[in-house]
Amino acid sequence: PALHVSCEHTLMMRWLIPRVPDFHLRCPDIYIQLSAGGGPAELNTDADLAIRRNDFAWPPHWQAARLFAERTGPVCLTAKSAQMTRLDVRGNLQLAPGTTLLHTRTRPDAWPVWSRLAGISLTEPTSRELEHFYFSIQAAVAGLGMSIGPWLLVRDDCESGVLHAPFGFIEDGSAYYLLTKKDFEAESPTGIFYHWLLEQEKS
């Protein structure tokens, strides 16, 4: 059988696609067809399943299985991390003056939310705005500044040493869910895919 999965653009590009070969290796009888999308999805028309952050209200008759919490934190090119951070007089890590903050139009509150949760003030003499998280993360990889990075979107680059997260990651109160009109029975294709997703977040 085939499962048509709609996933938010950057999450699909930076986290899901690199892991789908593992699913096909484990479950060769289930083919995953991916499409990019955000916000409400037309389940059973556009897709069988949708992976979405809970930043909108979905219909009450949909089934929603929680996947993982959203955790965010500033990330920058590892080689430039020392230039973009400093210790204050109390020895607390802060953003260095002059650090370029990379914003994204798709989630303009990302920096303010992180600042509030982390208790770190933003001094922003320089900033750049990009359209999507993917572009702001790539700009960070290029050394153009510091981006807010959701953990799943920057995990591979952080683990490889390309990016550094000097402040770590903080849960922002939102989460990703797997949405469907189908069942989540353990042995159904939907159930198998759901449990595989849970494994990928933890591994």
Could you give the C-alpha distances from 138 to 59, 83, 135, 146, in angstroms and in order? 34, 18, 5, 10
Average pLDDT over residues 53-68: 89
pLDDT of residue 123: 73
The contacts of residue 32 (CB under 8 Å, 6+ apart) are 2, 3, 5, 20, 23, 24, 193
> Longest Cα pair distance anywhere in the chain, in angstroms?
61
This model's pTM is above 0.75: yes
Q: What is the pLDDT of residues 142-157, one digit of tens each?
A: 999 999 999 999 999 9
Q: What is the pLDDT of residues 107-139, one digit of tens each?
A: 899 999 999 999 988 876 688 999 988 899 999
Asked if pLDDT for residue 40 goes beyond 70, the answer is: yes
Q: How would you classify residue 131: left for phi > 0, otherwise alpha for psi between -120 and 50, otherwise beta?
A: alpha
pLDDT of residue 62: 86
Lowest-pLDDT range of 32-36, 94-98, 119-123: 119-123
